């Protein structure tokens, strides 16, 4: 879903399409994983008066509508991204960069596990951690 479609999606709801909300959607338009603070910076480059509170309130609404996905790495601020396909995250523990990974077959595994315990209405999130190729290289060089 691109930004224009997302703007339109917002209009279909009880929520108003404001300059600020559109700004948040645009900030996430390139697929980046951003903290609320980083989103604020992007939005402020166009609309200098926007507040962090508004960014958080907006992200919460967009998450409820399924337009945004949130992901909280251990020991850090939450990262937000546009909700495109279902995917998972791999986080470098050294540089903290996050990349997306798609894992076919995980849906089946997770719902089987949930089924064994009779859970309903199931969702799941896999986070992989490790050293990314460039951090591995740098580390070996300095060791």
Partner DNA sequence: CTCTCTGCAAAGCATTTGCACATTG
Partner DNA sequence: CAATGTGCAAATGCTTTGCAGAGAG
Binding partner of 122, given DNA, a second copy, none, CB within 5-8 angstroms per partner class: a second copy
Least Cβ distance, residue 117 to a second copy (angstroms): 6
Distance, in Å, from the CA atom of 83 to the CA atom of 99, rounded to the nearest integer, reads 14
Binding partner of 5, given a second copy, DNA, none, CB within 5-8 angstroms per partner class: none
Binding partner of 58, given DNA, a second copy, none, CB within 5-8 angstroms per partner class: DNA
Interface residue with a second copy among 77, 84, 107, 128 (CB under 8 A) is 128
Q: How large is the angle between the packed helices 19-27 and 3-11, nearest 10 degrees? A: 140
Distance, in Å, from the CA atom of 50 to the CA atom of 45, rounded to the nearest integer, reads 10
User: Minimal CA–CA distance to 69: which of 77, 79, 58, 55?
Assistant: 79
Binding status of residue 130 toward a second copy by CB under 8 A:
yes
Interface residue with a second copy among 74, 85, 141, 142 (CB under 8 A) is 74
Q: Which of residues 75-94 bind a second copy (CB under 8 A)?
A: 88, 90, 92-93
Distance, in Å, from the CA atom of 141 to the CA atom of 135, rounded to the nearest integer, reads 10
């Amino acid at each position: 879903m691109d930004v224009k479609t997302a703007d339109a999606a917002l209009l279909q709801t009880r929520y108003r399409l404001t300059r600020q909300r559109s700004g948040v959607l645009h900030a996430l338009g390139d697929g980046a994983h951003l903290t609320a603070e980083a989103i604020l910076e992007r939005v402020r480059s166009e609309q200098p008066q926007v507040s962090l509170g508004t960014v958080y309130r907006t992200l919460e609404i967009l998450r409820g509508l399924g337009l945004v996905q949130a992901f909280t790495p251990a020991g850090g601020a939450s990262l937000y991204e546009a909700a495109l396909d279902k995917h998972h995250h791999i986080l470098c523990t050294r540089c903290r960069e996050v990349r997306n990974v798609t894992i076919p077959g995980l849906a089946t595994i997770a719902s089987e596990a949930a089924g064994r315990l009779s859970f309903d209405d199931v969702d799941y999130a896999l986070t992989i951690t490790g050293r990314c190729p460039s951090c591995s290289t740098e580390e070996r060089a300095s060791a």
